[in-house]
Amino acid sequence: MSEILVRAEGLGKRFPKSHRSSDRLRSLGRLLLGGGDVDGQQVLHDINLEVKRGESVAIIGENGAGKSTLLKLITGVLTATEGTANVYGKVGALLELGAGFHPEYSGRDNIAMAGALYGLNRTQIAQCLPGIIDFADIGAYIDEPVKHYSSGMVVRLGFAIIAALKPDLLITDEVLAVGDESFQKKCVRWMEDYLAGGGTLLLVSHSMYHVQKLCSHALWLHHGKVAMYGDVFDVSQAYLAWHERRQAAVASDHGVRAGQEFEIVEFTVNGQDESPAPVLDIGNSLRLRVRAGSRERRTPVVLFGVARADGTPVYGVSSEMDAVALEGGQSSVYCAEIEFEGIGLLPGSYMVKVHVLDSEGIRLFDTEERTLTVRGESREFGLVRLPHRWVRFVGEANE
């Protein structure tokens, strides 16, 4: 059994110009004559990737970076212009919404058709059918034509089929972005079990929460080239830092913060002002410090907060709530610092935020945030560890 499931070498893809009839005819002529389309758009450049059995790799990058194109080249949906892509093993792919489904057929019929395409006989399909229907959980719609399905229902059915087949390699492109929250959780639990059982995953997602939760490695594509490849936390945090620098540059170019009454001058997390924030071990202390500028030397209100990576608020407190006066003296810059001793966050990905409001605490003027990763071993549920003790009732168990 091969340890390598995916090997891409020098992979490149160029799409011919086709928005005008003359472009299409010119491209066709070059193809017939055996030449390339030198005027086309190069969307992937010299991609080298090797995925071993049991690995989970996220492919991240901004829109148009070439993520979906790379998956299509690996699965054979598209043909590479340069290089090669080989897959060794059974592949389950969820690339585009509704891809592989016949819109006129019912969900039940599409299950049978998908099973046959994956090489299952009628008996095997019949055995898988109840589990697929149960996982998809779309009720009576299973016997309705797929063209009547919502986008979420299509994803439910597609993922349910893949879950039943348990392929050697699972390839997904933004699947979790379509389904509702309960189905997302079901899919994540299945993926975790799949990976724990030795499955291999290639995941395209803009959700750094899912990327960091499900994947051990990440490939960052930028303008069709590999910007970085390695440990998922190193790559995803570098990607988020790049986004923050780009957004700051755009804001500066457009004068967004110029002349603002209150603005953040500096925000540090455990003494570091660069992004991403440090990785904390569970139970460590978290210290947040901000320097806020005030154009008219009015004391601002500062609010510190912690949120889960998907945006779910965990905790927030402001200087106004705790009746804390910010230090500023004769300067136009005011400082605020807060420490969460032995922070009770459970392992996972979070965002720490600071908001600067006016002196009345009503109008928001500026916001900054940093990525925070809490690591450690825990089987507890939820977001935070609550102080607790087990009460022992001696002798009552035998009464």
Is 399 within a domain? Answer: no
Mean pLDDT on 204-229: 90
What's the CATH code of the domain at 346? 2.70.50.60
- Work out the pLDDT band at 182, boundaries 50, 70, 90: confident
Residues 196 and 158 both lie in one domain: yes
| More confident of the two residues 378 and 36 | 378
CA–CA separation, 210 and 189 (whole Å) = 11
394 inside domain: no
- SS3 (DSSP) at 272: strand
**225-249 average pLDDT score:** 82
Among 189, 209, 239, which residue terminates a domain? 239
Q: Within a domain: residue 244?
A: no
- Residue 335 located in a structural domain: yes
Mean pLDDT of 249-268: 65
Run of H or E including 333: strand 333-340
What pLDDT shows up at residue 27?
59
Q: What is the mean pLDDT of residues 290-299?
A: 85
My answer on whether 107 and 189 are in the same domain is: yes
Do 333 and 286 share a domain, yes or no?
yes
Q: Lowest-pLDDT range, 32-41, 64-73, 77-86, 308-317?
A: 32-41
Tell me how many degrees the CA angle 39-44-46 measures, rounded to the nearest 5. 110
How many degrees, rounded to 5, is the angle at CA 29 between CA 26 and CA 31?
Answer: 110
- Domain assignment of residue 85, yes or no: yes
Helical packing angle, 107-117 and 151-165, nearest 10°: 40
Q: Quick one: 28 and 163 in the same domain?
A: yes
pLDDT of residue 398: 57
In a domain, 381, yes or no: no
- More confident of the two residues 341 and 277: 341
Q: Do 198 and 335 fall into the same domain?
A: no
* 60 plus 176 within the same structural domain: yes
343 to 86, 219, 282, 368: CA distances (angstroms): 46, 31, 7, 20
Residues 207 and 263 in one domain: no
Question: Do 56 and 148 sit in the same domain of this protein?
Answer: yes
pLDDT reading at 254 higher than 70:
no
Range of the domain at 56: 4-239
Question: What is residue 207's three-state secondary structure?
Answer: coil
Count of CB atoms situated within 10 Å of the CB of 280: 20
- Whether 187 has a pLDDT exceeding 70, the answer reads yes
- Across the chain, mean pLDDT equals 83
Band (84; pLDDT cuts 50, 70, 90): very high
Report percent pLDDT > 90 for the chain. Answer: 31
Specify which residues 4 forms β-bridges with: 52
Q: Is the pLDDT of residue 202 over 50?
A: yes
The answer, yes or no, to whether residue 303 has pLDDT greater than 90, is yes
Structure tokens at 182: 């309960």
Q: Which of 202-211, 248-257, 261-270 is least confident? A: 248-257
Please state, in angstroms and rounded to a whole number, the distance separating the CA atoms of residues 195 and 193: 5
Return the minimum-mean-pLDDT range out of 69-83, 168-182, 295-309.
168-182
- 165 found inside a domain: yes
Residue 169 shares a structural domain with residue 118: yes
| DSSP string of 91-150, one letter each residue | EEEE-STTTT--TTSBHHHHHHHHHHHTT--HHHHHHHHHHHHHHH--GGGGGSBGGG--
pLDDT at position 16? 76
Provide the pLDDT for residue 393.
73
Task: Report the alpha-carbon distance of residue 202 to residue 185 in Å, rounded.
Answer: 18
- Tokens 């194109």 locate to 69
Query: 200: pLDDT confidence band, cut at 50, 70 and 90?
Result: very high
Query: At residue 208, does pLDDT exceed 90?
Result: no
The tally of domains found in the chain comes to 2
Query: pTM surpassing 0.75?
Result: no
Block residue for tokens 């450049």: 45
In the sheet with 4-15, reading across from the earlier edge strand, the strands are 41-52, 4-15, 82-87
Same domain membership, residue 177 and residue 307: no
pLDDT exceeds cutoff 90 at 238: no
On whether both 282 and 356 belong to a single domain, the answer is yes
User: Where residue 185 sits, what CATH number does that domain have?
Assistant: 3.40.50.300
Residue 287 predicted with pLDDT over 90? yes
Does 267 share its domain with 224?
A: no
> Considering the domain boundaries, does residue 187 fall inside one?
yes
Among 27-36, 45-54, 109-118, 304-313, top mean pLDDT goes to 45-54
